[in-house]
Amino acid sequence: MREFSDLKRRRLYRIALNFFNKKPDRGLQLLITWGFVDKDPQSIAKLFLGRRGLSKQMIGEFLGTLHSSFHASVLDYFVNEIDMYQMDVDVALRHMLTFFRLPGEAQKIDHIMQVFSRRYKACNPDRLNPTVSVDTIYMLAFAIIMLNTDLHTPSLKNSKRMKVDDFIKNIRGIEDGKMLDKNMLTQIYERIKEREFRPGNDHVTQVMKVDQSIIGNEKPKLVEPHRRLICYCRLHQIIDVNKRQNANAHQREIFLFNDMMLVAKLFAKKKSIAQYNLRYWTALIGLKIEPFQNQLYSYGLSIECPNGEHLLFNAKNNDDRYRFMADVRESVAESTEMESIRIELELDKQTPITLGPGSVHRFSRVDNQRDSGLPDIDHQNSTELPELSNGHTITSNTMASNLYARGGGTTSAQKPVTSPTSGFKTTNSMGLMNGAAHSITYHAATRRLSFNSMDSGMVEENGADLSV
């Protein structure tokens, strides 16, 4: 059995999550093969329910897979793990749908609603009229899903939306629906009208916040199931390394994702809401980052982009510089290794992706393994980094000195939105993205995101609130 270092194992876990968030079956096979989850449906169902970093959209796609006994078994275990006791049908359905997003196909929705109705009946045998069958609950659940779509489709005119009387008439017009209480159906309608069904937050929710806060004609599509926000920080770009510039000049906001990096300029701030103008973006495969210093800039960062662009930044201190550099290097290593694995899987057509017995574990699973990242920040047990020419020695258990990847493989398109001479600022601090679902909150300099987190690639520092 091949052994991997802790750092390597954590990176492989994130890569498997990335694959799942693109192609669920392939990603799950990697999670099984690499020993992160057992091969039985119950373990997989618990993984879906208990771990972040998995796209709720892709969980729904997997659970809705038709004509597969394995997928159906996972769905059964998944739904049976959800507490529905003493809940009205719509409340239980809303609760279940916080764990995944329903797929778009009617057949898949039908499949999931059948499993839901059996679970609901088992949890609430006395809540409804005893004559109400599983089939009746299934019919009502499917009607609730249709009602939710009808009432909350933005493009539908209000005059065309279903009215409460229509909803009741449609249900009670069916033979089994006559047993359902009219007052109960009215309450269901009002609750759905008041509040739309929404899946719970996941890593895509944070990416959506960033996407809504950045404007720019050349902005790439950011919201993808596989994309995770790794860190958000402020740096100052150095226009001329041989000329001193104002400490607050050329401030830029850096958004580092697991497969790309965006550089933006803060241009509007109303109360706690910030808006950014995109200046540059680049893929990570092939990107290189190195520290530098001279008499004018003590905490410099040199970034060589895959398309040949060369960017220079300055950080506030060595700790900020090496934290950011460690995050970039590990993200580059993750992207590069994922691309290598993708190519290998495409070439190796003789090894099909199967989800039954026979998967080979490449290393043992660690039950208390964290989900996405490097070890937690521990200033007492940190790993020493190389000594700089100015005599400073930086420590950080993100192990920046071991993370540098020179990025083989192919590169994606990178588009400079403005000339690099316009400057990407380094700030005097590093910050954390947070806020409401449709905004970015501008935070103090003591907060940042990092690989040292539990599940999705973020870490809490100095008591920062990472809720979304």
What are residue 430's DSSP bridge partners? 446
| DSSP symbol at 126 | T
With beta carbons less than 8 A apart as the criterion, state whether 326 and 336 touch. no
pLDDT in tens, 123-136: 998 888 888 899 99
Greater model confidence, 247 or 1: 247
- Please enumerate in sequence order all residues whose Cβ is within 8 A of that of 56, keeping only pairs 6 or more positions apart, or say none: 99, 100, 101, 199, 200, 202, 204
Compute the distance between CA of residue 435 and CA of residue 38 in angstroms, rounded to an integer.
Answer: 36
pLDDT in tens, 134-146: 999 999 999 999 9
Q: What is this structure's pTM? A: 0.76
* Mean pLDDT value of segment 432-461: 38
- For the chain, the straight-line distance linking the first and the last C-alpha, in angstroms and rounded, comes to 40
Q: For residue 326, what are its two tokens?
A: 């460690």
With beta carbons less than 8 A apart as the criterion, state whether 302 and 312 touch. yes
Tell which residue, 92, 100, 55, 168, has the closest CA to residue 456. 55
Greater model confidence, 434 or 286: 286
pLDDT at 238: 93
What are residue 235's DSSP bridge partners? 252
pLDDT in tens, 99-109: 999 999 999 99
In this predicted structure, the answer to whether residue 35 has a pLDDT above a threshold of 50 is yes
Q: Mark residue 163 as left, alpha or beta (left: phi above 0; alpha: psi -120 to 50; beta: remaining).
A: beta
Q: How confident is the model at residue 270 (pLDDT cuts 50, 70, 90)?
A: low
**Helices 318-347 & 6-20 angle (0-180, nearest 10):** 60
pLDDT in tens, 301-349: 999 999 999 999 999 999 999 999 999 999 999 999 999 999 999 887 6
Q: How confident is the model at residue 351 (pLDDT cuts 50, 70, 90)?
A: low
In this predicted structure, the answer to whether residue 442 has a pLDDT above a threshold of 90 is no
Q: How confident is the model at residue 272 (pLDDT cuts 50, 70, 90)?
A: low
pLDDT at 462: 38
Rounded percentage of the chain residues whose pLDDT exceeds 70: 73
With beta carbons less than 8 A apart as the criterion, state whether 451 and 230 touch. yes
Compute the distance between CA of residue 381 and CA of residue 363 in angstroms, rounded to an integer.
Answer: 26
With beta carbons less than 8 A apart as the criterion, state whether 384 and 322 touch. no
Tell which residue, 330, 350, 244, has the closest CA to residue 5. 330
